Amino acid sequence: MNLRNLAAVIAGGLFGAGLMLSGMTDTAKVQGFLDVLGAWDPTLIFVMGGAIVPMFIAWRIAAMRRMPALGGAFPPPSTDDLGRRLVVGSVMFGMGWGLAGLCPGPALASLSYGGIGGLVFLAAMATGMFAAPPVARRLEPAM
């Protein structure tokens, strides 16, 4: 295993542990956050806030460095492209997220304890991902 793979499994492990410990693999907590008409659950805001702070610092550090620790390049600056793909895709994602209370990270993190339902969700999600490239070309033919 090379160093890039080692760093990837460490980053993934921190991500998975964080999702499990934060309660974000509990669909009731996620749907509780989205349920503004019911018993609203603010936990997701604390998770997002707790994650954004170290990442905000990391982007500042990245801006001061020439390259990542293992070489290569940092991601290019974000564009301001708010095209149909971003809007249509985010609406679809939000609908699925509301229906089941799962998004891609927690669906992966809870694979070992999410039962058959979690497995079926992950399989359906992978199918949707597989189907995305031709749909994307239809939404934005030039891209």
Which residues, 24 to 63, sit near another protein by CB under 8 A? 24-29, 31, 34-38, 41-59, 61-62
Number of residues assigned to the chain: 143
Q: How far apart are CA 136 and CA 38, in angstroms?
A: 35
Residues binding another protein: number (CB under 8 A): 118
Q: How far apart are CA 46 and CA 52, in angstroms?
A: 10
Least distance in angstroms from the C-beta of 99 to another protein: 4
Binding flag, residue 137, another protein (CB under 8 A): no
Instruction: Kindly identify the residues of this chain, within the stretch 5-24, that bind another protein according to CB under 8 A.
Output: 5-24
- Cβ–Cβ under 8 Å, residues 30 and 101: yes
String marking each residue 61-90 x if it binds another protein according to CB under 8 A:
xx--x-xxxxxxxxx--xxxxx--xxxxxx
For another protein, which is the closer residue by CB, 5 or 142?
Answer: 5
Least distance in angstroms from the C-beta of 32 to another protein: 9
- Conformational region of residue 6, where left means phi above 0, alpha means psi within -120 to 50, and beta covers everything else: alpha
Least distance in angstroms from the C-beta of 19 to another protein: 7
For another protein, which is the closer residue by CB, 49 or 141?
Answer: 49
Among residues 40, 31, 48, which one has the least CA distance to residue 101? 31
Q: Which residue has the tokens 């620790």?
A: 69
Q: How far apart are CA 8 and CA 39, in angstroms?
A: 38
Least distance in angstroms from the C-beta of 27 to another protein: 5
